[in-house]
Chain A
Amino acid sequence: MALRRSRRVIGNPGNRRVQLFLEESRAPGRDQGLAPWDTSSWADVLAGRIPGAGCLTRIDSPGEDEHVKRALVARGGGEPVEHPHGAIWGLGAAARGLQLAAEALEAAGHRLTVPADDLRVLCDKHACQRRLARSGVPVPQIVGLVHSYAELLELLHEAREPRVFVKPRHGSSATGVLAWETDGTRHQARAALEIAGTEGRPQLFNHLRVRRYSDPNTLERIVNGLCSQSGPGGLHVERWIPKAGFGGRTFDLRVLVIAGRARHRVVRTSKGPLTNLHLGNARGDIAQIQKHLGSEHWDDIGRVAEAAARCFQDSIALGVDVLAGLDGHARVAEVNAFGDLLPGVLHEGQSTYAAQLEAYAAALALA
């Protein structure tokens, strides 16, 4: 019986993502009679030690580990130089490294919970948004793709866009994301990053708080710095859609779509334009926001998230970031391959991991 063959999770073993998942997999009553999940580390996989394929392989985030980051970059054809903690670097190469590792796993017979084909697009904000747009999923309008500060200014000038988000094409969370505004003459960017290092060799770092930059020289260093770390990919530029506010803060929602159905939702609130739980922003009270938005807008958010997930039909679970627009329309901001770290959040009594384990079992039973 297919279910008796091994299942494996690949991640960074010490990371709580893997720990929480394994804990849930061992909960009493779960997966009766099945062997426990095997674990492999990204470090091993990237070193070429591909484990034997079972019936299903869950891939989890390779993030939050400097050694693995360097291994990803090396695999992706970049220079695995040691960088100070928090440095923004190797975004393009790391994405390429992860892609190659996923393809190697599939070549060895692994069935991945996020197939390599989906992963390639999910780890590329520009390609992802284009796929969603082509499929009719509401997204902020794509303004363009740029490879330098000069190109960005020209793009904004020609497009006459006063407010945009500039995002490194590859990279997680709010890494390197700029909330950019202009009146045609002056420019200003707010971002959770800072510049250190010398004039000739600026180094960009993640910063816990959002900072604002308006000096043109500084903006140039930031944008060109992000371009150089994005590999050939460049920076994705999209229209900044004003977000709905509540209680003095703006918010968006992370919706976990599992097996095509919108499940767990988390509201991320912020005093400024960047909503991300890592930036010290607070989780919102979901019931209050639901009431504030009203059932029509609330349902719309779920529908839009499910529509986005349908663009990646072979991925069992995806974390979809949805914007509740000030104009009452929901739009998808991003789709995350590893967006299920929502500890303490339940849907129909299940944690994100319990719900996925159930979906995995169903997917395998159908196989």
Chain B
Amino acid sequence: MNLSSHCTEFAGHKVQLFDPTKPLAGQATDIASVAWRAGGPFNYDDETMSIKTAFAALAKDPDVGQIRALVVGTWASYENDAPGGALILENAAKLGGLEHLFLADIVGEESEISWIEHGELGPLFGALPKLKTLVIRGGAMKFDCKGSETLQKLVVQSGGMPPASVAQLGAASWPALEHLELWLGTDAYGGGSKPEHLQGILNGQSFPSVRWLGLMNSDNADQVAAALMQSPLLAQVRDLDLSMGILTDEGGKALLEAAGSLAHLNSLHLGHHYFGDATRAQVAGALPMVRGLDEPGESDDDGEGGVWRFVEVAE
């Protein structure tokens, strides 16, 4: 999944664009085996392929309950169109069969990730009782909720995940969640979570089943790494992703000092790191499960003695 092309596959299902002018039944032999895309490429002059039109058609379709996987396309924030989450909630009763949701597959050329504003998404979990996979792309989200009994995979792709929303996740209950991936982002775009916002997650109680953990794309990657090394959650994780953020020698040191606690990991992703040569060599030696050492982050020399480092995805 990358941020410049629409996905062709989602949750193991091939993505197919839903044609709102025809019934679902005629568009695939097995409705449940397709990941339906609601909303085509954004077209100013033609509402036919808007998500508004797509959801209006789905709401009336007799087979909408068979949909297992849904990919939501772009909406026009300028027009104050209802964002994707609101349309899902409006139609949740009809989408009772939904297990996998991608909200929303919007690429950079359609909108900057920081301009995709989701608002309150908490009610989604209660409204979709079979939800197993939720991928959210964007920012300005909130999670006022108790959690989910069924959710197995949660991914938030963001240049700035509000710290309050991170804390909300930590305060809720996710007994079935195996994959937790949060792109924490930078405070320049509403992100910048620090260890205190992650406490609810790191103490492990809310996420007893998590085996794949990503705390990524963080401005404060060093602090996050250090806090994670001290946390009860680490022992149950098998694959850890700390990539895309500003992870420097300081964070590297925290990892090296906790090498014993990391030995059980299958993989540790550190792509886009900012290690110096010495740290890089030490990490390679002490932590054989590390990936991404050969993909350091870029720095910007401002020509005035300042070096700027960035998270990988911000805008």
Binding site for B on A (CB under 8 A): 141, 160-162, 181-184, 188, 209, 212, 239-240, 242-250, 271-273, 325-328
Contacts and interface: CB of A to CB of B under 8 A. Distances in A.
Contacts of A239: 44
B2 interface: yes
Contact of A250 (B76, B108, B315): B108
* Interchain residue pairs A-B with the least CB separation, the first 5: A245-B4, A242-B109, A162-B78, A327-B41, A245-B5
Nearest to A329: B41
A326 B3 contact: no
B115 A183 contact: yes
Nearest to A186: B115
Given A188-B112, A327-B41, 16 more contacts: A160-B78, A161-B44, A181-B112, A209-B300, A242-B107, A244-B5, A245-B5, A245-B108, A245-B109, A247-B4, A249-B4, A250-B4, A273-B109, A326-B110, A327-B40, A327-B43
A273 B300 CA distance: 19
Contacts of A325: 41
Interface string B71-110: 0000011110000000000000000000000000001111
A245 B78 contact: no
B115 A326 contact: no
Nearest to B45: A141
A326 B5 CA distance: 8
Contacts of A248: 2-5
B315 A182 contact: no
Contact of B76 (A141, A162, A328): A162
Given A162-B78, A239-B44, A181 B4 contact: no
Contacts of B112: 181, 188
22 contacts: A160-B79, A161-B44, A181-B111, A181-B112, A183-B78, A188-B112, A212-B315, A240-B109, A242-B41, A242-B109, A244-B5, A245-B4, A245-B108, A245-B109, A246-B4, A247-B4, A248-B3, A273-B109, A326-B6, A326-B42, A326-B110, A327-B43
Given A160-B78, A182-B78, A243 B3 contact: no
Given A212-B315, A326-B107, A184 B78 contact: yes
Interface of B: 2-6, 40-44, 76-79, 107-112, 115, 300, 315
A181 B2 CA distance: 22
Question: Of residues A240, A242, A328, which shows the largest number of chain B Cβ atoms within 10 Å of its Cβ?
Answer: A242
Contacts of A249: 4
B207 to A, nearest CB: 30
Listed residue (B76, B78, B79, B115) with the most chain A CB atoms within 10 angstroms of its CB: B78
A248 B244 CA distance: 14
Nearest to A269: B4
B43 A246 contact: no
Q: Report which residue of B40, B44, B300 has the largest number of chain A beta carbons within 10 angstroms of its beta carbon.
A: B44
A133 to B, nearest CB: 15
Nearest to A273: B109
B41 A326 contact: yes
Contacts of B78: 160, 162, 182-184
A162 B77 contact: yes
A181 B109 CA distance: 11
Nearest to A243: B109
Contacts of B79: 160
A243 B40 CA distance: 14
Contacts of A212: 315
Contacts of B107: 242, 245, 326
A18 to B, nearest CB: 32
B76 A326 contact: no
A221 to B, nearest CB: 20
A328 B315 CA distance: 25
Contacts of A250: 4, 108-109
A239 B42 CA distance: 12
B308 to A, nearest CB: 11
Q: Which of A141, A325, A327 has the most CB of B within 10 A?
A: A327
B2 A245 contact: yes
Contacts of A188: 112
Contact of B110 (A183, A209, A242, A246): A242
A246 B109 CA distance: 12
A243 B4 CA distance: 9
B160 to A, nearest CB: 14
A355 B307 CA distance: 46
Contacts of B300: 209
A125 to B, nearest CB: 20
Nearest to B5: A245
Nearest to A190: B315
Contacts of A141: 44
A250 B5 CA distance: 8
A242 B49 CA distance: 15
Contacts of A243: 109
B313 to A, nearest CB: 10
Contacts of A246: 4-5
A239 B41 CA distance: 15
B206 to A, nearest CB: 33
Query: Counting chain B CB atoms within 10 Å of each CB, which of A141, A249, A328 scores highest?
Result: A249
Contact of A247 (B2, B6, B43): B2
A271 B313 CA distance: 11
B311 to A, nearest CB: 14
A346 B118 CA distance: 48
Contacts of A160: 78-79
A183 B115 CA distance: 9
